[in-house]
Amino acid sequence: MVAAVAVAALAGSALPALASPAAPHAAGSAWGKKTDIALPPLAGGTNTAPASKRAAPPSADRQAWHTRQQTRGAANSPRTSTRSGMTSAGTPPQGQGEVPWHTYYGLRLSKSVAVKVDYSTGNLLVAATDFDIAGVAGKLTWTRTYNSLDAPWGSVSHAWWLGYERYLDTDPTTSVDLYDQSGARVSFTKNADGSFTAPAGYSLDLKKNSDSTYTLTDRKSGTRDTYDQYGNLTRIADRNGNHQSVERDRDANNAVTGIKVTDDGSGRSITLERQDATHWNAHDSTGRTVKY
């Protein structure tokens, strides 16, 4: 009887905490409890924008990186630029693009355009999707990304980076650097046995093949990207072996004048073509066109 009373007393003492709902939090703000702050007075009249100022000239190291971007992409001849000691070729940028463990504030501007701000670096990303086509090997998704921080230069524009322009920088002596579809840099350390170690936080495996090409495998999705010996993306395969082909056209100076991505199972494709020095057209296999 005594034991039963003791158990009942203990149970009764615990019940009020479970049965009584917690008092609601008082209204407040992340900036403090005082919410009736008066706005500062605003002067009337017409606002005048300040005069435009030229950006400060880049440092020698940053200029070396920019020069390297201008000459990057030799597909049919050996590369002429090297990065010995990060001196002649400039230190590559870091912190741009989408980093898995960073926190972002995002906002969708339309069905095809979204913006993000990286809380860690202050980088502004603007992502636009111009085509999104179903295919056997997954979607053919034609994306462009703008980074406010320094990033790899795109073919259409220095500021806008196409997702299918992602590439491997094979010049460094101690690493191979991936610039992914968002422009982010992922550096794989070269090991003495010829293998590569991915940086912490990435589920990626990089392998150099016997024909000097490279295979990049995403362990989460099972997709495999193939890059030629110069680091240019040539093929994308899903976990079932279906694939997309990536081809490039070049002029006499080896500059890219066109990119074609084809879903080999369905024959659907997206083609980018340079019209002149400042204009490009992209069109899909249904005839839809986007002009840059």
Whole-angstrom Cα distance, residue 237 to residue 215?
Answer: 10
Task: Report, as ranges of residue numbers, the positions in the chain whose pLDDT lies below 50.
Answer: 1-22, 24-25, 27-31, 74-87
CA torsion 232-234-239-240 (nearest 10°) is -170
* Three-class DSSP category at 289: strand
- pTM equals 0.77
Three-state DSSP class for residue 67 = helix
| Residue 20 in tokens | 């009584």
For the segment 192-214, what is each residue's pLDDT rounded down to a tens digit?
999 999 999 999 999 999 999 99
Tokens of 38: 């008066």
Beta strands 175-179; 256-263: pairing state: unpaired
User: What per-residue confidence (pLDDT) applies to 18?
Assistant: 42
3-state secondary structure at position 255: coil
Residue 80 is predicted with a pLDDT of: 37
Reported residue count of the chain is: 292
Closest CA to 184 of 151, 158, 209, 211: 151
Dihedral sign of CA atoms 132, 155, 255, 170 in order: negative
User: CB–CB of 249/257 below 8 Å?
Assistant: yes
Q: Write down the pLDDT at residue 37.
A: 63
What pLDDT was estimated at residue 89?
Answer: 66
Structure tokens at 259: 């990119």
Q: What is the pLDDT of residue 62?
A: 86
Predicted pLDDT at 33:
57
Tell me the C-alpha to C-alpha distance, in Å, between residue 142 and each of 85, 117, 199, 241, 272: 36, 22, 27, 21, 10
pLDDT of residue 36: 63
Backbone angles phi, psi at 232, to 5 degrees: -80, 135
